[in-house]
Structure 1
Amino acid sequence: MDHALVIGGTRFIGRHLVEDLLEHDYDVTLFNRGNHDNPFADVEGVDRVQGDRTNDDDLERAAAVEPDVVFDCVAYFPRDVRRATELFDDVDAYVYISSGSAYEREDLPKLEETTPIHECTDEQAVDEDHDSYGPRKAEGDRIVFEAAEDGVNAMSVRPPIVYGPHDYTERLDYWIDRVRRFDRVVVPGDGTNVWHRVYVEDVASGMRIVAEEGEPGEAYNVGDERMVTLRGMIELIDEALASVDPEYDPGVEIVTAGPRELAAADLEMDDFILYRDPPHMLSTGKVARLGWESTPLSTAMERAVADHIESDRTGREHGPDRADEERVLGVLDTL
C-alpha cells in the first residue's frame, strides 16, 4: 500500500483527492495549518501533521513521514514549489497543482507541448495579486521541469475552473442560485462563450493517475472532456435541478444581453462570473492517454447542484444584483 502526503487536503480539491486516494487503497497523511474543519479526523488510514507549508521547519516535519507520493494542492508561489521539490527529491512522484492560467497564448485548444506559458518576474513571484496568479503558476511549472531534469519524479497538473461539491469559491453557486430562484436569467453576450471547466473529482483522479502513470517533467491538462457554452452550462443546471429538487419547476428562460443592453444597468459583460473573452479551452488528450476519464457532465452537475442545495452558499456576490438584472430585462422587453 502506498503512502501519500497531501499538502492541503481538507477543503475542496484536496478533500476530493484524499477520498479518491482512500478508495484506491492509499494511506494518507494531511499536512495543513488546521484553519478549517478536518472531514477526515476520525477516518482510518488518514493521519495529519499540522504546520504551515511556507515554514521550512514545518515542511521538513511533514517530509519526515517519508511518503511514497506527494500531492501539492496549495503551492501558490514559486518558492513553495522549489522548496518542496528539494525536500521530496526521492519520492516516487511529486504532483504539483498548476493551472490553465499558466498558459500565455490564447490557443484553441491549449496544448501542453506547444502553447507557451507565462514568464514570471521577481516581483510577480512574490506578489499576492490575482493578476500574478498565472505567471506564478507557470514559474512553478518551470521549477517542476527543472527538478525532473535533476532526477526528481516531479509532474504538474493544469486544471481550468474547478467546480463541484464543497466549492468554497461559489462561482458556480451564483448560476445555480439564479436558475433555482428565477424564471428568467440574464446571460452576457449571445450565450456561446466558452470557459473550460473541470469537475473536482476528475481533478482528483487526474492527480492520482499522473502520479501513478505520468512521466517526470511533464505537465498534464485536466478538464471536462465535453465542453459546453455558458448557455449549455445553465441548461445543465436546469436539468440537474429538475432531477434533484422536487420543488423546482424546470424550463428557465435564458435571456441574452449585449454590452448596450447591459449598460442600462451600468453592467459589463465580465461582471458575470464564468464569462470570459476570449474563450479558454484545454486539450485533455495527454492525460486521457494515461487512462484518465472525465465524469459525464449530467452526473457532475447533478452532484454539484445537490451539494449547493444542502449548503448555505449562494455566490450572489459574484454577479449583478437581481435589481440590476431586472433593469436589463426591462430594456430587452421593450425591444
Structure 2
Amino acid sequence: MDTALVIGGTRFIGRHTVEELLDHGYEVTIFNRGTHENPFATVEGVTHVEGDRGDETALEATAVSVDPDLVIDCVAYHPEGVRTATEVFSDSRYVYVSSGAAYARREVPQREGETPLEPCSPEQADDDSMGSYGPRKAEGDRVVVEAAGRGIEAMAVRPCIVYGPHDYTERLDYWISRVRNHDRVVVPGDGQHLQHLAYVADVASALRVVGEDGVAGEAYNVGDRRLLTLAELIETIADAAGTDVEVVPAGERELAAGGLSPTDFPLYREYPHVLSTARLASLDWESTPVGEAMSRTVADHEKSGRDGSEHDPGREAEERVLGVLDTL
C-alpha cells in the first residue's frame, strides 16, 4: 500500500483529499496543529500527527517516521514554507496547493507556462494579508520549479475558486440560501460575469493524479470543465434545490438605490477569470458534471447550518433594488 502525508487535512480541500487518497488505497497520515475537529479520528487507515507546518524539526521528524511516498501540502501560504517542505520531503513526490490567483494577467484562459505569474517582493513573501496572497502563491510555484531543478519531484496545482461540501468560506452558501428562501434573487450586473469555479472533490482528485503522474516542476490548473455565468450558477443551484427562482439582474444605478455595489455580492468578478484545464485533463483527470456537483453541495448546505450570512449585503437593501426595478 502507498503512503501519503497530507499537511492540513481536516477542513475543506484537505479533508476531501484524505477521502480521495483512502478511496485509492493509500495509507494516510494527517499533519496539522489539531486546532480543528478531526473527521478521521476513528477512520481506519488514517493517522494524525500533531505539529506546526512552520516547525522544520517537526516536519523532519514526520518525514522520518512516516516516510511518505506522496506529500500533499494544503496549507503552504508562504514561499519559505514551500522551500522548507520540498527539502524536508525531498525523497517523496511533493504537491503544493497553489492558486489561480498566482496569475498576473487577465488572459482568457490563463495557461500554465504561458500566462505570467505575479511578482513577489520580500515584504510580500512574509506578509499575511489577502493583498499578497497571489504573489505569495506565485513565489511558491517558483520554489517548486527550483526544487525540480535539483532533482526533487515537486509539482503545483492551481485551483480557481473552490466550492463544495464542508466549505467554511460560505461564499456559495450565500447564494444557496438566497435561492432556498426567496423567489427573486438579485444578481449584480447582467448576470453574465464568469468566475471559474472548481468542485472540491475534483481538486482532491487533481492533487492525487498530479502526485502520481505529474511532471516535476510543472503546474496544473484545476477547475470545472464547464463554466457557468453567475446567472447560470444560480439557476443550477435552483435545479439542485428543486425550486424555481427568478434571477433579477441589477446594474450599478439600480444597486445604488439599495446602497449596494456589484462587489458587495460574493463570487462577482468584474472581469472573466478562466483557467485552462487541458494540461490536467491530459493526465486522464475528469471533472464531475456541474449538476451532480451542485446537488451534492446543496445537500451538504441543507444539513450544515451554514447560511453565508457574513457575505449578505442585506435583504432589505435588495428589496429596495427590486422595488426600483419593478418601476422601470
Give the TM-score of the pair, scaled to structure 1.
0.97
Residues 1-20 of structure 1 aligned to structure 2 (within 5 Å): 1-20=1-20
Paired with 1:75 and 1:54, the residues of 2 have a C-alpha distance of: 9
Q: Counterpart of 1:73 in structure 2: which amino acid?
A: C
User: How far does the alpha carbon of each residue in 1:231-284 deviate from its partner, in whole angstroms, 9 at most, with x for none?
Assistant: 010000000000xxxxxxx22011000000011112111110000111100000
Q: Residue 326 of structure 2 corresponds to which residue in structure 1? A: 333
Paired with 1:218 and 1:77, the residues of 2 have a C-alpha distance of: 19
Paired with 1:41 and 1:269, the residues of 2 have a C-alpha distance of: 42
Q: Residue 180 of structure 1 corresponds to which residue in structure 2? A: 180
Which SS does the other structure have where 2:94 is aligned?
A: strand
Which SS does the other structure have where 1:54 is aligned?
A: coil
RMSD, matched Cα: 0.6
Paired with 1:60 and 1:215, the residues of 2 have a C-alpha distance of: 25
Paired with 1:151 and 1:108, the residues of 2 have a C-alpha distance of: 33
Q: Residue 81 of structure 1 corresponds to which residue in structure 2? A: 82
Which SS does the other structure have where 1:61 is aligned?
A: helix
Paired with 1:89 and 1:58, the residues of 2 have a C-alpha distance of: 15
User: What's the offset of the Cα at 1:196?
Assistant: 0.2
Say whether residues 1:55 and 2:48 are aligned partners. Answer: no
Q: Counterpart of 1:298 in structure 2: which amino acid?
A: G
Residues 1-335 of structure 1 aligned to structure 2 (within 5 Å): 1-64=1-64, 65-91=66-92, 93-242=93-242, 250-335=243-328
User: How far does the alpha carbon of each residue in 1:305-330 deviate from its partner, in whole angstroms, 9 at most, with x for none?
Assistant: 00000011000211311011001111
User: What's the offset of the Cα at 1:80?
Assistant: 0.8
Q: Counterpart of 1:158 in structure 2: which amino acid?
A: R
Paired with 1:317 and 1:50, the residues of 2 have a C-alpha distance of: 31
Paired with 2:79 and 2:287, the residues of 1 have a C-alpha distance of: 29
Paired with 2:310 and 2:326, the residues of 1 have a C-alpha distance of: 26
User: What's the offset of the Cα at 1:113?
Assistant: 1.6
Which SS does the other structure have where 2:138 is aligned?
A: helix
Paired with 1:38 and 1:61, the residues of 2 have a C-alpha distance of: 21
Paired with 1:114 and 1:310, the residues of 2 have a C-alpha distance of: 42
User: How far does the alpha carbon of each residue in 1:214-239 deviate from its partner, in whole angstroms, 9 at most, with x for none?
Assistant: 10000000100000100010000000
After superposing on structure 2, the runs of 4+ consecutive aligned residues of structure 1 that deviate more than 3 Å are none
Q: Counterpart of 1:80 in structure 2: which amino acid?
A: G
User: What's the offset of the Cα at 1:204?
Assistant: 0.3
Structure 2 regions of 5+ residues with no counterpart?
Answer: none
Identity %: 63
Paired with 1:316 and 1:39, the residues of 2 have a C-alpha distance of: 25
Paired with 2:317 and 2:128, the residues of 1 have a C-alpha distance of: 31
Paired with 2:81 and 2:197, the residues of 1 have a C-alpha distance of: 26
Paired with 2:87 and 2:212, the residues of 1 have a C-alpha distance of: 20
User: How far does the alpha carbon of each residue in 1:35-80 deviate from its partner, in whole angstroms, 9 at most, with x for none?
Assistant: 1111111111111110010112222222122111100000001111
Q: Counterpart of 1:289 in structure 2: which amino acid?
A: S
Q: Counterpart of 2:285 in structure 1: which amino acid?
A: W
Paired with 2:244 and 2:241, the residues of 1 have a C-alpha distance of: 10
Which SS does the other structure have where 1:95 is aligned?
A: strand
User: How far does the alpha carbon of each residue in 1:3-47 deviate from its partner, in whole angstroms, 9 at most, with x for none?
Assistant: 000000000001000001001000000000001111111111111
Paired with 1:267 and 1:20, the residues of 2 have a C-alpha distance of: 41
Paired with 2:83 and 2:311, the residues of 1 have a C-alpha distance of: 34
Paired with 1:134 and 1:62, the residues of 2 have a C-alpha distance of: 29
Aligned length: 327
Paired with 2:289 and 2:305, the residues of 1 have a C-alpha distance of: 26
Q: Counterpart of 2:298 in structure 1: which amino acid?
A: V
Structure 1 regions of 5+ residues with no counterpart?
Answer: 243-249
Paired with 1:125 and 1:319, the residues of 2 have a C-alpha distance of: 32
- 311-320 or 133-142, which moves further after superposition? 311-320
